[in-house]
Amino acid sequence: MYYINGKSYFYKKSMKYITILMIVFLECFFNCSYSQEIIPLYQHVPNSIPSQIKEQADSLSKRGKVSHVTDPTLSVYLPDPAIRNGTAIIICPGGGYSYLVVNGEGSDIAKELNTKGITAFVLKYRLPDDRIMKNKSIGPLQDAQQAIKIVRERATDWKIDVSKIGIMGFSAGGHLASTLSTHYSTAVIDNALHTNLRPDFSILIYPVISFQEGILHKGSKKALIGANADTALINNFSNELQVTGNTPPAFLVACNDDKVVPVQNTIRYFIALHEHGVNAEMHIYEHGGHGFGLHNKTTEDQWIERCYHWMKANGLL
C-alpha cells in the first residue's frame, strides 16, 4: 500500500492476487452448490474379491472418465428448495461397462435436472471385472438396486415422493437402467426391509438394450457376460425380452446414424413396451451419432426439453 495526498492505494500486483482469490472463492461456492453429499453404497461391498486394483480418473477428459471402480457411490444433487417438486432421478453414466462418463453423462445431467426442481443422484457403479467380483454379470445391477433402495429409504431426508423415483441411463448405463427396470423383482442385494426396487419410470438415452446378434454392442456384452456367454444368459440380459406389463414407463432417445449402438436397441425396447401396454415415448433423430450427452449438436431440438414435456404429461413435474 502507498499513499498520495493522504489517500491509500494498492499495488496492481496486490489487486491481481485479490482478484484471483475472489475467483477461486466463487468457483468453490458454485461447485459446492451442486453435489452436497457423496454416499458409499455399502459398508461392505457384496460380491467382491480382495484386489489391489485402484480406481482411475482421467483428469484431462472434460467428459470425466472413471474406470476400475471398486467402491461404488451415489452423489447427491439437490435442487433449490423453492422449486423442488419431489421427483428424483438416479443417473447411470455410460462407457461400455469399461469406464464411466461421470461428467458428460453424470454431473452435467444432474445439474440440468436440478433447474427443474428434480433431485438427482449420479451412480458411480462398479464395472464388471472378474478380478474384483465373484460374479461380474450382477455387479452393476447390485449397485443400481442398492442405489434405488437408498433413495427410497431416505426419501424423507431429501423430501422425495416415493412414487416418483426414476432411473436414467446413457449407452451402457442405459442397459443398466433397463436391466433395473426389468429385473427389479429379483433382488441381488440384501433387502431385509423388502424395499421396492422398481423404478417408477425410466429415461434411456442412446441405450444398449439387447445382446442379440446383429444389434448388440459387442464391448458391453463382452464386459458384462463374456463374449461366449450361453443363450440363457444372453437372453436374460437382452432387456427387450424381459419386458412385462409391470415394466416402468419409459422415455427413449436415439439417433438413426448411431454407429456404436444400433438404433434397433431403442426401437425394440419401445415395441416390447407397446406390446405389453406400457406407456412409452420415443424420439429418433436423423443425425447425432452416439455419446452426445445433453446436447445433440446436429439439431436445434433439445431432447431434454422433450423429456420434460413427457415428465409433465405423466405427473412427474
Better-scored residue on pLDDT, 12 or 158: 158
- Whether residue 11 is contained in a domain is answered as no
Question: Is residue 69's pLDDT more than 50?
Answer: yes
Q: What is the mean pLDDT of residues 238-251?
A: 98
Expressed as residue numbers, the domain containing 72 is 33-313
Question: Is residue 19's pLDDT more than 50?
Answer: no
Residue 51: phi and psi, rounded to 5, are -150, 155
Q: What is the mean pLDDT of residues 231-236?
A: 97
Q: Which of 57-61, 205-209, 253-257 has the lowest mean pLDDT?
A: 57-61
Assign residue 185 the CATH number of its domain.
3.40.50.1820
- Whether residue 163 is contained in a domain is answered as yes
The pLDDT tens digits of the residues spanning 245-292 come to 999 999 999 999 999 999 999 999 999 999 999 999 999 999 999 999
- Whether residue 43 is contained in a domain is answered as yes
Q: What is the mean pLDDT of residues 196-213?
A: 98
- Whether residue 278 is contained in a domain is answered as yes
As for how many domains the chain has, the answer is 1
Query: pTM for this one?
Result: 0.88
The secondary structure of 202-251 as a DSSP string is EEEES-----STTT--HHHHHHHH-TT--HHHHHHT-GGGS--TTSPPEE
- Whether residue 232 is contained in a domain is answered as yes
- Whether residue 21 is contained in a domain is answered as no
- Whether residue 146 is contained in a domain is answered as yes
- Whether residue 162 is contained in a domain is answered as yes
**Cα–Cα dist 179/246, whole Å:** 13
Question: Is residue 195's pLDDT more than 50?
Answer: yes
